[in-house]
């Protein structure tokens, strides 16, 4: 009966290919199409040592090929009572070629992912832009390292090298974490497509830090209300931002807001959110009523992309007087860095949503009540928006303990 073993073709060299040896009445050597540094080979166990950064993946591939050969040899004995060595050579060559054909570059994977997701779920342009930006980062990394990133070769060594590169080009720890979330999403897709055989990449963790995102104070909102301008763009941005402040709408939903979604008689806005495809009903406050009664929402400029909107918003808030200095903390390589910036510089469209949610929490509403209005599907996703200033927290606690 036949036996199969694995060994190094050149054990006395620094690097060697791994060979399958099939013994029957005679011996046949077959290539595995895998090479490693000889110091990582365990000849007794016939496996790649765990010290190798890609040991799990390599051993998985070797096991798959061993299983293929074992089943093929068993079939030969069943059909011919012996091994057909010529057929075995042809079969393992074909198997190795098919394996190599599965190899795909990270750049090609991104392109394939975007193309497929656009067809399957009508991927939003804003999401597509995030992946295109990540693709540009990978291209620059490849140019620097002078090597193409193959998806089936992404393991701890690559992850560490890529993390170090992102840090060196100035990314904060949170930005690096976000980019690795994108990478893992792509690798999950690759795993589902069987471009890779394991999910070892998930073991690599990036530590993030809580951000210092600001919220708008009552005084800030009064300044926005009081600001007068003759510039059409600023008038438009001001109205939209105030609507966001009083509704908590994301920019993507604000841009889809039309008069037919607004019921001033019953004082509600009904809209299906673009992100979650969930219908939400938002009560219209007295201040928002005054704004909506004097405008035609459908006639507001609708061509603002997020970047354009936020750029125009910052200019508006600067002119409206939101110029006080705020301290923003970020982390790079786990080192805390503080930046002193004028407040308008750190405000974006999402600040309105964050302000809306924080003020509702401060008013005493429960998270479950707020989630109905905001469209959040989990408490954890809602909590990310809450930014209660320390001074407000201290005041609230003092009021509570004073009443004991």
Superfamily of domain 218-402: Intergrase catalytic core (1.10.443.10)
Full-model pTM: 0.59
Residue 227 contacts by C-beta under 8 Å, 6 or more apart in sequence? 238, 316, 319, 320, 321
Predicted pLDDT at 77: 81
Strand partners, 16: 36
Residues whose CB is less than 8 angstroms from the CB of residue 339 and which lie 6 or more positions away in sequence, other chains included: 327, 328, 329, 330
Which fold does the domain 106-203 belong to in CATH?
Answer: DNA polymerase; domain 1 (1.10.150)
Hey, is 198 helix, strand or coil? coil
Q: Write the CA distances from 160 to 166, 195, 235, integer angstroms.
A: 10, 21, 48
Q: CATH 1.10.150 region(s) of the chain?
A: 106-203
**Whole-number pLDDT of residue 404:** 47
Local confidence pLDDT in tens for the 404 residues of the chain: 788 899 999 989 999 999 998 888 788 888 888 889 999 999 999 999 988 877 776 887 888 888 888 888 888 888 878 887 778 788 877 777 665 555 688 998 999 898 888 766 666 666 778 899 999 999 999 999 888 888 988 888 899 999 999 999 988 888 999 999 999 999 999 998 888 888 889 999 888 776 657 889 999 999 999 999 999 889 999 999 999 999 999 888 898 888 889 999 989 899 988 877 888 888 888 999 999 988 887 777 565 677 888 999 999 999 999 999 988 877 777 777 788 899 999 999 989 998 988 888 888 877 888 887 887 767 666 666 666 555 554 455 455 435 54
Q: Where in the chain is the domain with CATH 1.10.443.10?
A: 218-402
CB 326 within 8 A of CB 389: no
Q: What is the Cα–Cα distance from 187 to 180, expressed in whole angstroms?
A: 10
> In this structure, how many other beta carbons lie within 10 angstroms of the beta carbon of residue 13?
11
């Amino acid at each position: 009966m036949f036996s199969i073993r694995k060994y190094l073709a050149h054990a006395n060299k620094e690097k060697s290919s791994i060979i399958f040896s099939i013994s029957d009445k005679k011996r046949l050597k077959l290539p595995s199409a895998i090479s490693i540094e000889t110091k990582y080979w365990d000849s007794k166990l016939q496996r790649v040592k765990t010290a190798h950064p890609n040991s799990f993946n390599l051993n998985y591939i070797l096991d798959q090929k061993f299983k293929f050969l074992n089943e093929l040899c068993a079939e030969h004995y069943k059909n011919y009572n012996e091994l057909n060595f010529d057929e075995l050579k042809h079969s393992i060559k074909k198997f190795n070629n098919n394996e190599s054909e599965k190899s795909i570059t990270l750049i090609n994977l991104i392109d394939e992912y975007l193309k497929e997701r656009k067809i399957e779920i009508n991927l939003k342009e804003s999401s597509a832009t995030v992946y295109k930006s990540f693709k540009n980062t990978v291209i620059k990394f490849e140019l620097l390292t002078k090597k193409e990133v193959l998806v089936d070769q992404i393991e701890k060594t690559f992850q560490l090298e890529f993390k170090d590169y992102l840090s060196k080009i100035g990314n904060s720890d949170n930005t690096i974490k976000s980019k690795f979330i994108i990478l893992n999403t792509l690798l999950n897709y690759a795993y589902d497509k069987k471009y890779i055989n394991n999910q070892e990449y998930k073991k690599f963790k990036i530590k993030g830090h809580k951000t210092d995102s600001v919220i708008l104070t009552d005084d800030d909102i009064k300044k926005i209300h009081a600001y007068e301008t003759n510039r059409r763009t600023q008038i438009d941005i001001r109205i939209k931002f105030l609507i966001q402040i009083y509704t908590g709408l994301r920019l993507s939903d604000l841009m889809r807001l039309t008069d037919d979604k607004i019921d001033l008689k019953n004082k509600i806005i009904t809209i299906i959110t673009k992100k979650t495809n969930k219908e939400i009903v938002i009560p219209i406050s007295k201040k928002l009523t005054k704004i909506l009664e004097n405008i035609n929402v459908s006639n507001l400029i609708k061509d603002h992309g997020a970047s354009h909107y936020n750029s125009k918003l910052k200019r508006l808030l600067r002119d409206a007087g939101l110029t006080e200095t705020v301290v923003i903390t970020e982390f790079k390589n786990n080192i805390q860095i503080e930046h002193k910036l004028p407040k308008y510089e750190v405000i974006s469209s999402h600040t309105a949503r964050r302000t809306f949610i924080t003020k509702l929490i401060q008013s005493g509403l429960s998270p479950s009540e707020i989630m109905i209005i905001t469209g959040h599907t989990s408490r954890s996703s809602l909590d990310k928006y809450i930014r209660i200033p320390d001074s407000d927290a201290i005041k609230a606690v003092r009021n509570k303990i004073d009443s004991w």
